[in-house]
Amino acid sequence: MKLLSGNANHPLAQAIAQYLEMPLTEASVRRFADEEVFVEIHENVRGEDVFVIQPTGFPANDNLMELLICIDALKRASAKRITAVVPYFGYARQDRKPGPRTPISAKLVANLITVAGASRVLSVDLHAGQIQGFFDIPTDNLYAAPVMSADILARWPAENLMVVSPDVGGVVRARALAKRLNNAPLAIVDKRRERPGESEVMNIIGDVTGRFCILVDDIVDSAGTLCNAAAALREAGAQDVVAYVSHGVLSGGAVARVDASALTELVITDSIAPPEAVQQAKRIRTLTIAPLLAEAIKRIADESSVSSLFD
C-alpha cells in the first residue's frame, strides 16, 4: 500500500500517514508557467495499492485537475488499484437539475474520476447519498458523526441537548447524530431560500425553550443559513447554540459572519485545509478526521469491512 498526496490538504495526508505509520509517496505536483498541472511520481508504484488523498475544495477546479492527473500518472505507472480519497467532494451540491438547461455537475465529476482510472472512491459526508450512484466504481461514504458525537459528549451538557437540522433536507443527518447522543430530541428549522447563497428563517419545528441546541449540517459555505438559524433558535428560547459541520468551505465573509452571530461556537472538520482566517477565528474550532480516514484506508487495503466503523 502507498499513500500519495496532492496539494489540496497536505497536513491531513501527513496525519493519515502518521496514523498508519508509513511515509507519503515521494512525488512532485507542480505548475508550469501557464498554470498547467504536472505530476511526477518518484517511487516505483507498479502493482501497488495506491490511495490518492485530495479533497476538491477551493480552488475546486485546480484541485480536481490535480486529482485527475495524479490518478492518470499512477495508472500509466501500472499501479494495481487506485483509490481516490476525496474527503470533501466538490460540485456535490450540483447533484440534480434545479431548473431547465442546467447541468448535473456532480455526475460529470464522477465520470471524470472514473475515466481517469480510479478503481474506487472514498469520501466523507457526501452532500447527497445518491452521489454514490453517480459512480460506476465502488464508493465508500464515511460519516463524521462518530467524531462529532464524541466531541459533543465530552464538551457539552448531555442532559439538556437537542439536535437541530437547519433545513428539512438535513433531517436524516440530524437524526443519525441525535441517535448517537443517547437519542437526543430533534428540532427542524423551516426556511425559505429566495436565491442561492441567501436564506430566510421562517419557523422552528419543535420546542427549543431552555435547550442546548446542536445545529448539524454537512457544508457551511457563506454561513448565512447557520447564522440565521442560530438567531431564530435564540429568539425561540434556546439556552445556547453550537454548530457542528463536516465541511468548512467558509467562503467570502463567512468567518466574520460567524464571529458576529448568535453561535457560541462553530466546529468543523479538517476535510478542507482551514485557511489562516479560519485558524484565527475566535468561534471556529477544527476536529481532525485523519484517524477515521486512516482506519477506512487500512480496512480497504485489508479487504475488511468499512461499515463496521460506524456500528
Question: What average pLDDT score do residues 6-19 get?
Answer: 96
Q: Is 66 annotated as a binding residue?
A: no
Q: Is 5 annotated as a binding residue?
A: no
- Position 201 scores a pLDDT of 59
The DSSP-derived string for 225-271 is: HHHHHHHHHHHTT-SEEEEEEEEE---TTHHHHHHTSS-SEEEEETT
- How many residues can be counted in the chain? 311
Q: Is 48 annotated as a binding residue?
A: no
Q: Is 94 annotated as a binding residue?
A: yes
pLDDT tens figures, 99-156: 999 999 999 999 999 999 999 999 999 998 899 999 999 999 999 999 999 999 999 8
Q: Is 93 annotated as a binding residue?
A: yes
Cβ atoms within 10 Å, residue 228: 20
- Position 275 scores a pLDDT of 87
Cell 464522477 found at? 110
- Position 168 scores a pLDDT of 85
What secondary structure letter does DSSP report for 37?
Answer: E
Cβ atoms within 10 Å, residue 23: 12
Which pTM was predicted? 0.92
Q: Which domains does the chain have, with CATH numbers?
A: 2-143+291-310 (3.40.50.2020), 145-288 (3.40.50.2020)
Q: Is 28 annotated as a binding residue?
A: no
Longest dimension (CA), the chain: 61
- Position 158 scores a pLDDT of 78
pLDDT tens figures, 148-204: 999 999 998 878 899 999 988 889 999 999 999 999 999 999 876 666 666 565 789
* DSSP H stretches of helix in the chain: 10-20, 60-76, 105-116, 145-155, 171-180, 224-235, 254-259, 276-280, 290-302
Residue of 107, 191, 282, 298 with catalytic role:
191
3-class SS of residue 45: coil
Q: HSE-up of 107 (CA within 13 Å, CB side)?
A: 9
Q: Which three cell numbers stand for residue 124?
A: 466523507
- Position 167 scores a pLDDT of 86
pLDDT tens figures, 275-298: 888 989 989 999 999 999 999 999
- Position 310 scores a pLDDT of 81
Q: Is 92 annotated as a binding residue?
A: no
pLDDT tens figures, 253-276: 899 999 999 999 999 999 999 988
The dihedral of CA 71, 76, 77, 80: what is its sign? positive
The DSSP-derived string for 143-154 is: -SHHHHHHHHHH
Integer CA distances (angstroms), 82 to 17, 121, 254, 255, in order = 17, 9, 35, 36
pLDDT tens figures, 25-74: 999 999 999 999 999 999 999 999 999 999 999 999 999 999 999 999 99
Radius of gyration for the alpha carbons in the chain, expressed in angstroms and rounded: 20
pLDDT tens figures, 203-245: 899 999 999 999 999 999 999 889 989 999 999 999 999 999 9
Active site residue 191: yes
Q: Is 217 annotated as a binding residue?
A: yes
Local confidence band at 5 (pLDDT 50, 70, 90 cut-offs):
very high
pLDDT at 95 over 60: yes
Rounded Cα distance between 72 and 47, Å, is 15
